Amino acid sequence: MLVRLRGIVKKVINCFKEDNPVIQKKLRKVSLDEGMEIAKELFEILNKRKDGIGLAANQVGIDAAVAVVNVIEPHILINPEIVEAWDEIPYYEGCLSYPGKGVNTKRYESVRIKTEQVEGSLIFSGVDRGESGKGSWEDGEIKNDRELRTLEAVCIQHEIDHLNGMRIMDRMRDTTIISEKKIGRNHLVTIKKGDAVKVLKYKKAQKFIDDGWNIA
């Protein structure tokens, strides 16, 4: 898929097919105006795909610390920095630059970040934090909301990794790239169809995959 970005035709880099050094470098900080311009184009690219929920500028060859995320709602990350993280969890995740593959990683269920365009900080968390600190969730319907919010927090971490020159392969908990056929039945996977996103154990996700959903 080709997209015109800042006057130049760009495509999402497939790291299995090409070795682009911008993928593995810490990206330059940008001004708010430049960051918003790049973010607009990144959303244009992301929205044309069926298999992605986040995209960093270096994934299309641009040296700029800008990324976009669209899980629960759209978010723009300009010069983002993680300032706090808590509740480490195992996670299975994929990447647009490594299509059709995924890896086991360790992430945090909650992160606090700073960005260029927001004063103070933002919290992305699968766990509700009340006035007394970390809150709790009950079993049932709210569990799905927690999983979706956890996915958003993980996606934020994934894209900030890109901006720091870290690939998903650098986060692997083992040395083997996992294909869809090797996903454990109890692995949490993210699936997407159109604008709909679900996070399910693979054994439950299989019926959705058979019905045309894609692993994100």
Task: Indicate which CATH number applies to the domain containing 189.
Answer: 3.90.45.10
Tell me the pLDDT tens digit for each residue of 150-159: 999 999 999 9
Indicate the pLDDT class of residue 138, thresholds 50, 70 and 90. very low
User: 134-143, 169-178, 197-206 — which is least confidently predicted?
Assistant: 134-143
**Would you list the DSSP string of 39-78?**
HHHHHHHHHT-SS-SEEEGGGGT--SSEEEEESSSEEEEE
The answer as to whether 132 is a domain residue is no
- CA distances to 18, 103, 174, 184 from 169, rounded to whole Å, are 15, 7, 10, 18
Residue 55 has pLDDT above 70, yes or no: yes
Does residue 85 belong to any structural domain of this protein?
yes
- pLDDT > 70: what percent of the chain? 75
> Is the predicted pLDDT of residue 31 greater than 50, yes or no?
yes
Domain-located, residue 133 = no
- Please check whether residue 131 lies inside any domain of the structure: no
- Answer positive or negative: Cα dihedral of 37, 67, 98, 181: negative
Q: Is residue 2 part of a domain?
A: no
Q: Confirm whether 22 is domain-assigned.
A: yes
The answer, yes or no, to whether residue 102 has pLDDT greater than 60, is yes
With 0.75 as the threshold, say if the pTM is over it.
no
pLDDT band at 178 (very low <50, low <70, confident <90, very high): very low
Out of 41, 116, 152, 159, the active site residue is 159
Name beta bridge partners: 75. Answer: 69
What is the tally of structural domains in the chain?
1
Tokens describing residue 78: 């300009």
Residue 196 lies in a domain: yes
Q: If you search the block for the tokens 């997407």, which residue do you land on?
A: 192
As a whole number, mean pLDDT of residues 176-190 equals 53
Instruction: Assess whether 159 carries a catalytic annotation.
Output: yes
Residue 134 lies in a domain: no
Domain that holds residue 157: 7-126+141-215
